[in-house]
Chains A and B, each alone.
Chain A
């Protein structure tokens, strides 16, 4: 793997995936958050996993203003740099391509997000329940909040 100069890394990313990157946030201590189009997820994830040899840590699914956000966390263990790919998923069509065929580490967490938030992962090899016994209703997703209740004040 070629050594990456992290000072110009955001620019390299923009150069490679300009049209797919919606936003870029450089945080302190070697942390980068990249907001991308969900259609480009597999291509960009493949770039990090295959070309740059990053390790897939985990993905965090969460409620957003209109739908859901998923943040895929990747780590470059040779430098401690962490890249976080953020995709926004529309509430009306909560689905995104599965990464489980590319890397087995994504298998369980996608099943978990499907179960808790109700996001569908397209082409997942085994999108069955991970946490429940399969006895929840098809529409029952305990972590999902309808967007109108999404404001902090609605929480107790």
Chain B
């Protein structure tokens, strides 16, 4: 009988919104099976929303995720506007799109930094997070907040971006573009990153379809699904852009897709700012008097993939049922395919590759012997062995 070692990552785990627990069953260095436990911090947000008014729900769903705090209000607004049958003014559409795309850039930069750290490239980590600050500065200028922007309301947005600010924002955006190209070059040309991420954590097209994975995880396996393109909302049909895909299916492909998406986002924001300047200042929402009984199905493309909100209304002022599906819910389940057969030192980057939410920044992981219960390694050791592998590869080159 072979002896399997269990490496639990968790229970207070940063990989999703809530703390959770992964158990890697390993034979020597190789991961043979993975199990997960979720719900250590189930907040019951769907239930809470049934006791909130439609306007209050925005502030609750904004706090589902700390990193992509605008994607949930975006999907919820889409759902509610479907029920209320209200049109959003063009200027509000552009503002929504700008906020959504800025968020994509800062979220992808955050992921890139962490991925660099796991691989032992702390320079990438420092760069990515440094340049992320530039995006947050734009957020501060336009919304007044670095996170939780509170920009959305049913029928439009809460705050306008005055035309007088457009030039400043464009300048700030221009400063970000060369930095993104710098990161692109640094990662695409590095032979050690290629060795660490290519052919690692493979997810085939069939796996993606079976698990219903979305976002960059699906697009890196050659499946061109993107809600912004497939079921257009806000200002996405009004600007030129393309869906980024890759056929690599591995961690490298996911990195590539994310970096190219950031450049695409810069272009979308640029076009939105231009077009927005031709719309009337201050016309940012259409008032909604009443929400009739009905169903609303809203979705939005968050940095991690499709966010889906279903709202059932009954003619009162609060949802009768509100279902929220974050993209990590379907993406995390793919670990069952991507981790098995890989080494422990690659497991950290594979688990990080789908960009599960890193809201809770603490990581706790221990490896202990299945039989004696003696601790072998902890979370820091896991990152250390991952970084060690990169160093060994560098030495060999």
Contacts and interface: CB of A to CB of B under 8 A. Distances in A.
Contacts of B336: 104
Interface string B321-354: 1010100011001001000000000000000000
A110 to B, nearest CB: 12
Contacts of A109: 329
Contacts of B44: 142
Interface stretch (B265-273, B283-291, B305-313): B305-313
Interface string B283-305: 00000000000110101000000
Interface residues of A, number: 38
B47 A142 contact: yes
Interface in B254-285: none
A107 B333 CA distance: 9
A82 interface: yes
Nearest to B336: A104
A55 B209 contact: yes
A152 B315 CA distance: 10
Interface stretch (A4-12, A16-24, A36-44, A71-79): A71-79
Interface string A49-80: 00000011110101100000001010101111
A130 B230 CA distance: 31
Contacts, number: 88
A155 to B, nearest CB: 7
Contacts of B46: 143
A28 B85 contact: yes
Contacts of A57: 212, 299, 306, 308, 325
A30 B231 contact: yes
A131 B321 contact: no
A105 B47 contact: no
B212 A27 contact: no
Contacts of A80: 227, 230-232
B82 A108 contact: no
A103 interface: yes
The range of chain B's interface size is 35 or more
A31 B51 contact: no
Nearest to B226: A77
B320 interface: yes
B191 interface: no
A127 interface: no
Given A103-B212, A108-B329, A77 B42 contact: no
A73 B232 contact: no
Contacts of B47: 142-143
A131 B39 contact: yes
Nearest to A25: B295
Nearest to A153: B316
Given A80-B231, A130-B38, A58 B210 contact: no
A50 B47 CA distance: 34
Given A57-B306, A60-B321, A143-B47, A27 B295 contact: yes
Nearest to B47: A143
A33 interface: yes
Interface in B39-70: 39, 42, 44, 46-47, 50-51
A139 interface: no
A152 B210 contact: no
23 contacts: A27-B82, A27-B295, A27-B297, A29-B82, A31-B82, A56-B212, A57-B325, A58-B325, A73-B310, A75-B230, A75-B231, A82-B231, A84-B295, A103-B210, A104-B212, A105-B330, A108-B329, A131-B39, A131-B42, A133-B39, A143-B47, A155-B50, A155-B51
In the A-B complex, the 4 residue pairs with the smallest Cβ-Cβ separation, listed nearest first, are A80-B231, A105-B212, A131-B39, A60-B323
Interface of A: 27-31, 33, 55-58, 60, 62-63, 71, 73, 75, 77-80, 82, 84, 103-105, 107-109, 129-133, 142-143, 152, 155-156
Given A31-B82, A56-B212, A132-B39, 5 more contacts: A27-B297, A57-B212, A58-B329, A152-B316, A155-B50
